[in-house]
Chains A and B, each alone.
Chain A
Amino acid sequence: MFYFLVRRLAVMVPTLFVISALIFIIIQLPPGDYLSTLVSELEAQGENVDQEKLDFLRQQYGLDRPVLDQYALWLKGMLQGDFGYSFEHNQPVVQVVGDQVLLSVIIAFATILFTWVVAFPIGVYSATHQYSAADHTLTFIGFLGLATPNFLLALILMYLANVYFGTSIGGLMDPKYLDQPWTWGKLVSILEHLWVPVIVIGTSGTATLIRRLRANLLDELQKPYVVTARAKGLSETRLLLKYPMRVALNPFIADIGNLLPALLSSAAIVSVVLSLPTTGPLLLKALQSQDMYLAGFLLMVLSLLTVIGMFLSDIALAALDPRIRLTGGRLR
């Protein structure tokens, strides 16, 4: 197990390295850099430019140097905890981002919990009552969940939440708690606002998970050992819980790896619609205004979250499923 952990960790390093390179290429793609755009804009408006500061920034981040040097500088800075400077906000990136990464993580975590709690009973029910009316209905709702653009769902739910529960529109907490220290009231307010994004973000993931659990469980239920157990007179509940369920549960853990990127993806757009103070809207703005270090940092954080999530799910899977080979070969 120890060896497995070390090997798995060792794989993460080059992965993150390649990811950082890809991200850097992407944020470099738009022609020009933020500073030159800014200067031309300011000059067009006839305002004077703080040349000294520009020069300092340009030098600090090597914007006048070749791309490869810039990348090296960026990477070096990140390793030292300096994630760059947000040109738009005139602040170091870390300060701009602040709480938002934490809130993103909270939402992602809550959504995974939601996905599990909802998908588990529905999946089991669908599998044990295959082709019943309820199964068909649930399957159809699941398909619908997969097919609905989640920003649309977000809009509708937000509207309904406002009309029926009086939840304030947009945001993750009541406006009065914004920028306040963490208190009980703030937490409650967040929880009140959390359910809309969690449901919206979780829908497609839940639908996928239900379908997978159903398929897995159906496969398991046809195996001879189930017939044997039934022949020996095991009660249906016990029979179900004893083995097939445990095997069918694997995707719950294994899927975190697939779930997380999808989840952060849909979180990004849903947050824009619901104007949640998470990384999504920030990323959108940063991308639109070519605030490259901010965008790069956010992309990096999102990828880091998924890589860590996959790592955790691999470990959990290896711990739970003895069939996973710990040495040699790769994990699937």
Chain B
Amino acid sequence: MSDNRAPAPTPLRHYVSDAPFDPAETEEISAEQERLSTSSGWRLMWLKLKRHRLAVYSGYVLIVLYGSILISEFLAPYSLTHRHTDFIYAPPQGIHLFHDGKLSAPFTYGLNYRLNMENLRREYTVDESRRYPVRYLCRGDSYDFWGLFESDLHLFCPGEGGTLFLFGTDRLGRDLFSRIIYGARISLTVGLFGIIFSMVLGIIFGGLAGYYGGIVDSVVQRLIEIIRSFPELPLWMALSAALPVTWSPILIYFGITLILGLIDWTGLARAVRSKFLALREEDFTAAAELMGAKPSRIIGRHLVPNFTSHLIASATLSIPSMILGETALSFLGLGLRPPVTSWGVLLSEAQSINAVALYPWLMIPGLAVVVVVLTFNFLGDGLRDAADPYH
């Protein structure tokens, strides 16, 4: 309501345009709006997700982590089983950049080991006189890369004659950092395979309940309620205790993912069912029906695409519980067992209070679990918000 408006234009004479009237012209749509209104649901979801910065960063972190499991051998400075018998329970070694106040290439100091005869503790002291510059793209422990070729190339290794224990070593003198990198392979995929299995079950049961309704619905609902009334972990414990000890580690691994999925599907089934029920009543479904679409087409073309985004969001949110579940099971000794190395298996070394007091770095794998679970939660939250068109 300001006074300095543009000067009023001279009044027009009565004028009628000969051009045909196009109502669309009056509602001017900018090019961007145009694109938005015609873009697919997936694109809309992506646009919305992009604004959720924490979720996007979490997504990047996860991509990096999952990418790392493809080249674990290359990333880890040592191999999974390399034992440094001279460095048992060595504390984490820092990578230094300054020596005597001068900047230098990253290096590690030497470690001196002494057994304290009074309390029989291993004591390590940093020897600043010895310096080992970190090497890059260097030759180290040899490995078999995915069964494709032999190599011994590593991204970085300790300097000649030195050591590089970023996260310290365990009771056999194995480098914890390398073991965490290798452990990611198991810990990160357990959740993925578990969720795939649980999604299949969830879609089948939830779909059946939602599509047929009535008695099928009630039965599935009861089943879900019953499974939900079990405390999860004791049930996991019981089931994994039932896995035969004679199975090979890889079979046990799949057995565990199966067990994780077997109990987890209820949440997804509920989500699928409620989506099915809700979408069945939508106008576009009725329209499709009136146009004579068959049920298979309605489900496949109209219903499923509408809740896939939701499904992915809920799946993302339930991966963490699986990762935590595997960690807990392995920690208790019921899940994966060495030589398979997962973060839970690594943590089972930190089971005693002694470990916490004397070798706190053994708990670092727990930190890895926390980071992964957090990022999955953030990403899942973002996805869920993005998948919901009404908020």
Chain A interface (Cβ < 8 Å from any Cβ of B): 14-15, 18-19, 22-23, 26-27, 29-31, 143-144, 146-149, 151-152, 155-156, 158-159, 162, 169-170, 258, 260-266, 268-269, 272-273, 280, 283-284, 287-288, 295, 298-299, 302-303, 306-307, 310, 330
Contacts and interface: CB of A to CB of B under 8 A. Distances in A.
A269 B332 contact: yes
B350 interface: yes
Interface string B217-244: 0000110011011111111011101101
Interface string B370-391: 1001100110000000000000
Contacts of A260: 231
Contacts of A149: 324, 327-328, 331, 347, 366, 369-370
A307 B229 contact: yes
Interface in B31-49: none
Contacts of A147: 320, 369-370, 373-374, 377
Majority secondary structure of chain B interface residues (helix, strand, loop or mixed): helix
A261 B238 contact: no
Contacts, number: 130
Nearest to B373: A147
Interface string B313-352: 0000000100010011001111000000000000100110
Given A162-B353, A284-B332, A295 B238 contact: yes
B293 interface: no
Interface in B352-370: 353, 355-357, 363, 366, 369-370
Interface string B137-163: 000000000000000000000000000
A261 B230 CA distance: 6
A147 to B, nearest CB: 4
B252 to A, nearest CB: 14
Given A152-B366, A156-B356, A288-B241, A261 B232 contact: yes
Interface residues of B, number: 41
Closest 5 CB pairs of A and B: A29-B242, A265-B233, A147-B373, A287-B241, A264-B231
Nearest to B232: A265
17 contacts: A15-B226, A19-B229, A147-B369, A147-B373, A149-B369, A152-B350, A152-B363, A155-B356, A155-B363, A169-B353, A262-B232, A268-B234, A269-B328, A284-B332, A299-B235, A306-B230, A307-B229
Contacts of B328: 149, 151, 269
A18 B369 CA distance: 35
Interface of B: 221-222, 225-226, 228-235, 237-239, 241-242, 244, 320, 324, 327-328, 331-334, 347, 350-351, 353, 355-357, 363, 366, 369-370, 373-374, 377-378
Contacts of B230: 19, 22, 261, 299, 302-303, 306
A35 B301 CA distance: 57
Nearest to B355: A155
A287 B237 contact: yes
B66 to A, nearest CB: 18
A303 B231 contact: yes
B244 A144 contact: no
A265 B231 contact: yes
Given A261-B230, A268-B234, A152 B347 contact: yes
A155 B353 contact: yes
A287 B377 contact: no
A265 B234 contact: yes
A307 B231 CA distance: 10
Nearest to B246: A31
Nearest to B352: A155
Contacts of B226: 15, 18-19, 22
Contacts of B350: 152, 155
B290 to A, nearest CB: 30
Contacts of B333: 288
B331 A268 contact: no
A67 B204 CA distance: 30
